[in-house]
Amino acid sequence: MKYQTFNEEIIRLVGGKENIQAVVHCMTRLRFTLNDRSKAKTEELKALDGVIDVVSNNVAYQIIIGTHVNEVHAELISMLGISPTSTEETEVKEKKNPLKAAMDLLSETMTPVIEPIIASGLLAGFLSLFSITGLISADSPTYQLLDSIRSAVFFFLPIFIAMSCAKRLKASPYLAVALAATLVSSSINDVAGLSIFGIQLPQMVYANSFIPIILAVWFMGQLTVLLKKYVPKFLQYFLNPLLIMVICLPVTLLIFGPIGIWIGDGIGWFFEVLHNTFGSWIVVMLYAAFQPFLIMLGAGNFMMPLALNFVNKMGYDPIFLAAATISDLAVSGAMLGYFLRAKDSKQKQLFGTVSFSALMGVTEPAIYGAFIKFRRPFIAVMIGGGLGGLFAGLMNVKTYSIVWGLMGLPSYADNQDFSNLVFMIISVVIGFVAAAVSAYILGIPQEEKENKKNKKEEETTEKTSELRKVPLASVVAGKLVPLAEIKDQAFSTGALGKGLGIIPTSNSIVAPVSGEISAVFPTKHAIGIKTEEGIEVLIHIGIDTVELDGKHFDTIVKQGDEVKQGQLLSTVDFEGIQKDGYDPTVIVVITNTMDYLDVIAATNENLVADDECLTVIL
């Protein structure tokens, strides 16, 4: 497994397998439901190589991994042995507020379903664009065939929802899907004159809906637990599935179907009253302004069911999807403002990267990588997103497909509504530009602090003849690589401190400075040294080599050892590392860079033993 060692560390640090009740993921985060959060070692998790940040709040215990989280999650689930049967047997020990539990359920149910929804929404947008430009006629077989993807995803939405929520609700996913398929079948869906047990059934449209099936699967889960308790075990395999289906279908048709539709109608009525009384502009404005806070709390998906309900009932969403797009572009704009304002090349790279990511609709890297740290970008998005949302609300912008982000803009011209597209583009531009300008004006707090610090140091320098500095020798002979060019974002962005990389030409890793070995990673790929001056040096041997689990490494020092500059720390088979498909670049960073005036990297292209590679200005 590619992430086995990484996942083993995560499992250990969250309190072991027995402490994990459930784990799902979104675009960048693992979302854990833990039996006892006090067992989780949050600070150690934050320090774990590969973890961007950890957020623990009322929504979930979240570990931010990055956009490869789906691969990590797939292996994690396999290692935990979580399966439909084992999940069903898991008893929920944590007592939750009913409203919070419902929000958690909706959010975690929608996360896996977003993929087909995004695909169908984007496809609808591009088909609309092709139709407008005359590339494809709306009556052509090609258009009809491609459009069937969009229509199928939303028609069979109850089936996707059933599969997604069944595990969490302790129901069999396959029985839940069977029930959903029955509801959307031509025998039941939108059929008038049906009756069961002599009771007349209302004519209901189950296709495109989501609330009735969630209620039905919840009931199925409760019934499953009950039957397991009272039906003899030797009969359960044959009898339970039959009883579950025979009981759940009529109960759904008689109770949960009508209730679900009434709830959907009630939500629509509430926002209709809000629109008629105040105007929807206030909701659009507020959501576009405050969406980053919801994402930070892990509740970014709560609006999806509301948007689905609007599209099902009205044929468009007048609030949430447009507001989400405006907010995402405002986040991108805020990071562009910081990119233009930043003077440090590492910060520029960070802000540029997360700005582009937000432009493509993934805002978590910006929120967790910059917003939480600098805080002022939140204000910039409140200004930019709020203004863009205000304009969109006043212009009654409509989202005709379940899609958001820059790539979904063409869908706003559906039904030949070109003015709607124009107003949406203007809203997005307002949000982007206003947030960029606001962020630029508000400035970067750390930069201001550093400017003040530098000014003080300049004044001090006038009084002192010279600055103290500590030179660090090269840890290995090889070719120097600027930190910004290293293929590991945790290092290249400067998030772990200033430093450099070395493409090794020797197999010997030596101490760059005298001091104490503060850490030796269990997989031997990373070594920490702390000097008498308090300088904390991290030597990271190779990229992603934690996955080698110590293979090719012969580290001869241990934590607590005292070492001298030039002393051998480890012998590494770099050829073997390369043959296994890993980058052998050795990275040296000062992890407490902010405690010093500056850390200056060498500029000579090639380094040999005893060459000065870094200089720390005290």
- Convert the pLDDT of each residue in 486-515 to its tens digit: 887 667 777 778 899 999 999 999 999 999
- Name residue, tokens 């974002």: 489
79 φψ region: left (φ > 0), alpha (ψ -120 to 50), beta (else): alpha
Over 50: is that where the pLDDT of 330 sits?
yes
pLDDT score for 85:
36
- Report which of residues 464 and 210 the model is more confident about: 210
Q: Which residues are catalytic?
A: 26
Share of the chain above pLDDT 90, in %: 29
- Report which of residues 404 and 555 the model is more confident about: 555
Q: Are the C-beta atoms of residues 30 and 11 closer than 8 Å to each other?
A: no
Question: Which structure tokens are listed for 216?
Answer: 């039905």
Q: Is the dihedral of CA 328, 334, 338, 339 positive or negative?
A: positive
pLDDT score for 388:
92
- Report which of residues 468 and 336 the model is more confident about: 336
Share of the chain above pLDDT 70, in %: 86
Q: Are the C-beta atoms of residues 334 and 435 closer than 8 Å to each other?
A: yes
Q: Is the dihedral of CA 306, 312, 314, 318 positive or negative?
A: positive
DSSP string, 307-361: HHHHHHHHSSBSSHHHHHHHHHHHHHHHHHHHHHH--SHHHHHHHHHHHHHHHTT
- Name residue, tokens 């020990």: 93
pLDDT average, residue stretch 178-202:
88
For 451, residues 6+ apart whose C-beta sits below 8 A from its C-beta are: none
pLDDT score for 93:
42
> Which residues of the chain are in CATH 3.30.1360.60 domains?
4-82
Question: Which structure tokens are listed for 4?
Answer: 């086995």
pLDDT score for 499:
92
Over 80: is that where the pLDDT of 450 sits?
no
CA geometry: angle at 512 spanning 510 and 517, to 5°? 80
pLDDT score for 193:
85
Rounded to the nearest integer, the mean pLDDT of the chain is 82
Q: Are the C-beta atoms of residues 381 and 395 closer than 8 Å to each other?
A: no
pLDDT score for 224:
92
pLDDT score for 401:
77
According to the CATH classification, is domain 4-82 in 2.30.30.100? no
According to the CATH classification, is domain 469-617 in 3.40.50.20? no
Q: Which of 192-201, 205-214, 468-477 has the largest mean confidence? A: 468-477
How far apart CA 494 and CA 593 sit, in angstroms, is 10
How far apart CA 192 and CA 90 sit, in angstroms, is 40
pTM flag (> 0.85): no
pLDDT score for 94:
45
How far apart CA 427 and CA 405 sit, in angstroms, is 13
Backbone angles phi, psi at 89, to 5 degrees: -85, -5
> Which residues of the chain are in CATH 2.70.70.10 domains?
469-617
Q: Is the dihedral of CA 423, 425, 426, 428 positive or negative?
A: positive
Q: Are the C-beta atoms of residues 440 and 159 closer than 8 Å to each other?
A: no
